[in-house]
Structure 1
Amino acid sequence: MATLSDEMTRLLEEAAEGLKALEDEVITAEFDPDDPVSVEAAIAHVEAVIDAKIARFRGNRLVEEAADAIKAECRANIFQQITDRDADRGTRTLH
């Protein structure tokens, strides 16, 4: 019979493995910043890659919370790229 300590150790070891898997993942996504459908597809792609990476760790709250935070960070990065590009539009040298 597993003790509470054994269960906690197992959960922490699993969390460490899941967090390492997330840390090692490199995700790239191409999108057209002028096309909202393309942007949403890029976000969906990133989230699907993350979900696939942590599939075997479902139920481990530490891993799921880290994955949710990474998804939010990736989404924010995509929107920041759009914002940065839009800010540069009016300042380009045309000749």
Structure 2
Amino acid sequence: MATLSDEMTRILEEAAEGLKALEDEVITAGFDPDDPASVDAAIRHIDDTIDAKVARFRGNRLVEEAADAIKAECRANILLQATVRDTDRGTRTLH
């Protein structure tokens, strides 16, 4: 029978692996900043990419919270690019 300490060790080891997977992921999304559908598609692409990367860590709250934070950061970056008028709009590494 696993002890509480064993369970915590397993959770933390799994979290470390999941966080490393997120850290190593490079996500790029191209979109037309003037087309709301394209912006929405880029956000969905980011969410889907991150969800796929952490799928095996479902249930690990540390990994899920980190994934949600990264998705929010990427979403904010996309929306910022859609509103800022400069030469780098529409394509950028987001994470």
TM-score by length of 1: 0.88
CA distance in 2, matches of 1:49, 1:82: 20
Root mean square deviation of aligned Cα: 0.7
Superposition misfits of 4+ residues, deviation over 2 angstroms:
none
| Bigger CA radius of gyration | 1
2:39 aligned partner: 39
Q: Which has more strand, going by share of residues?
A: 2
1:27 aligned partner: 27
TM-score by length of 2: 0.88
* Match status 1:71 vs 2:71: yes
Task: Structure 1: state its 5+ residue gaps.
Answer: 89-95
2:13 aligned partner: 13
Task: Structure 2: state its 5+ residue gaps.
Answer: 87-95
2:82 aligned partner: 82
- Count of residue pairs the alignment pairs up: 86
**Highest RCO, 1 vs 2 (Cα 8 Å, sep ≥ 6):** 2
